[in-house]
Amino acid sequence: MSTEIPLWDAAETRAFWPSAYDRIVLDQTDSTMAEAARRRDTLTGPTWILARNQIAAHGRRGRPWSMPPGNFAATLVMQPKGDPAQAALRSFTAAVALYQALAMLTGPKMLSLKWPNDVLLKGGKVAGILLESAGQGGGVDHLSIGIGVNLASAPDGSQVEDNAVPPISVVGAGGKASSPEDFLFWLASHFADLEQQFQQFGFDPIRHLWLKHAARLGEVITARLPSEQITGTFTTIDAEGHLILNTAKGERRIAAAEIYF
Amino acid sequence: MTKTTHDADVAFIQALAEVLKANDLTELQVKRDYGEGDSLNVRVSRQTQAVTQVAVPAPAPVAAAPAPALSAPAEETAEDPAQLPGAVTSPMVGTVYLQPEPTAAAFVGIGDTVEEGQTLLIVEAMKTMNQIPAPRGGTVRRILVEDGAPVEYGAPLMIID
């Protein structure tokens, strides 16, 4: 892409790579989540797997994820300590890390967060985060955090479901162009710092950072669950990451839902 | 009793029923005195399977405590399936998915033979798809949750023996 210029000198960005993490860069794969599943038993530590092209990418619950060239697709594979509920809090860690990395390209003013891990750019869907974990006996054997970012271009909006957030890209919103490799350095660096905070102090610092950037805090939003729809004032997220909605029938704590503004 | 009063009473009782449901109570009793010899005494109760524990609305969420106001009440019966040998319980609060994706076949069905470690279902929380593996090899005897149902921590999901 002719408009693409390196944001930072390669040697300089490499200096920010978090030393505890490995990195694998692939020209092409089916999806970085599938790649992570195949490789995870051979990995010796937390590893970022980046692919320049994904030919069979998917989103949550098998939804298609379209990836035009120049966009970002990577999966972090890790073996977090703690139970599955603790592992799931990485949803917020990943969202805050992605917010911080994107802010370097767009500035922070156009960015906001939607529960639990959507990063919005000018209110549009600029990225997707998907987490998969598995474990025995109350523990977690592995956690894969897949992150796709529309760096260069947004996919065709006609495939988007009704009432879903329309897609947008960093460049399309007037942000700086970045190669996926450069973007990974910054994303991995921010994630490593936040993960260290999480391990040292628990969820609280991540929770506060997330709330600081949350869209529609204090406003009425709608959470759609498989069995019901809940509308109420978005007051906060609790210490376990639940979305708290104040409704006419009292307070509701929500662990899984699609959020609509 | 006039019709207006009657309608107001019906509305009042309906409101009580809503309160009962919203707060996951099993029984609620209210007496309203309108005047001498004129009162309304209402007791609203509903059938639940809870025999060992009555759900009480708790004010604030407390770490590691069972969530009081989450979407579904924890099912507890005299024969608590969570205590049965072979019970697979939920390691987290979330939403259950019995298929890998909506159009796919279920991970397992009743009567299926499963191997240790085989994925039985998914519990989603915070957009994290947590695969629940079979703790041991055996046969799927019971599936205690519906696809898309909210579950509490420790809720029985399946019986494998």
Q: Sorting pLDDT into bands at 50, 70 and 90, what band is B10?
A: low
Tokens of A205: 């610092």
pLDDT digits (tens, 9 = 90+) for A160-172: 666 678 999 999 9
* Range in A191-205, B16-30, B141-155 the model is least confident about: B16-30
Contact B127 A85 (CB under 8 A): no
Measured distance CA(A76)–CA(A142) in Å, rounded? 10
Domains of chain B, start order: 3-45 (no CATH), 83-160 (2.40.50.100)
Residue A24, SS3 per DSSP = strand
As a whole number, mean pLDDT of residues A174-200 equals 96
CA distance A83 to chain B (A): 8
Neighbours of A58 (CB within 10 A): 19
Q: Determine if the peptide bond prior to A116 is cis (ω within 30°).
A: yes
Measured distance CA(A151)–CA(A173) in Å, rounded? 10
- Phi and psi at A186, nearest 5°, equal -75, -40
Contact A256 B61 (CB under 8 A): no
pLDDT of residue A63: 80
Measured distance CA(A65)–CA(B99) in Å, rounded? 19
SS in 3 state form for A201-236? HCCHHHHHHHHHHECCCCCEEEEECCCCEEEEEEEE
Neighbours of A124 (CB within 10 A): 17
| pLDDT > 90: percent of chain A | 79
CB contacts, 8 Å: A227 with chain B: 71, 148-150
- Phi and psi at B146, nearest 5°, equal -100, 155
Contact B67 A132 (CB under 8 A): no
Hey, is the C-beta of B103 within 8 angstroms of any chain A C-beta? yes
pLDDT digits (tens, 9 = 90+) for B15-36: 656 665 666 666 656 666 555 5
Hey, is the C-beta of B14 within 8 angstroms of any chain A C-beta? no
Rg (C-alpha) for chain B, rounded Å, is 21
pLDDT digits (tens, 9 = 90+) for A42-53: 999 999 999 999
Hey, is the C-beta of B78 within 8 angstroms of any chain A C-beta? no
pLDDT of residue B122: 96
Measured distance CA(A223)–CA(A72) in Å, rounded? 28
Residue pair A168/A121 in contact by the 8 Å Cβ criterion: yes
pLDDT of residue B84: 80
Q: Sorting pLDDT into bands at 50, 70 and 90, what band is B102?
A: confident
Q: Across chain A, what does the average pLDDT equal?
A: 91
Tokens of A122: 């000018």
Domains of chain A, start order: 3-212 (3.30.930.10), 220-260 (2.30.30.100)
Measured distance CA(A175)–CA(A186) in Å, rounded? 16
pLDDT digits (tens, 9 = 90+) for B61-84: 444 444 444 444 444 445 678 788
| Of the partner residues A60, A84, A90, the one whose CB lies closest to the CB of residue B92 | A84
pLDDT of residue B75: 47
A193: left (phi over 0), alpha (psi -120 to 50) or beta: alpha
Measured distance CA(A155)–CA(A164) in Å, rounded? 14
Contact A226 B23 (CB under 8 A): no
Given a cut of 80, is residue A81 above it in pLDDT?
Answer: yes
Question: Which of the residues A133, A204, A224, A246 would you substitute to probe the B interface, choosing the one with the greatest number of B C-beta atoms within 10 Å?
Answer: A133
pLDDT of residue B58: 43
As a whole number, mean pLDDT of residues A19-36 equals 94
pLDDT of residue B68: 43
As a whole number, mean pLDDT of residues B3-23 equals 60
Given a cut of 70, is residue B110 above it in pLDDT?
Answer: yes
Closest alpha carbon within chain A to B20:
A249
CB contacts, 8 Å: B125 with chain A: 84-85, 88, 241, 255-256
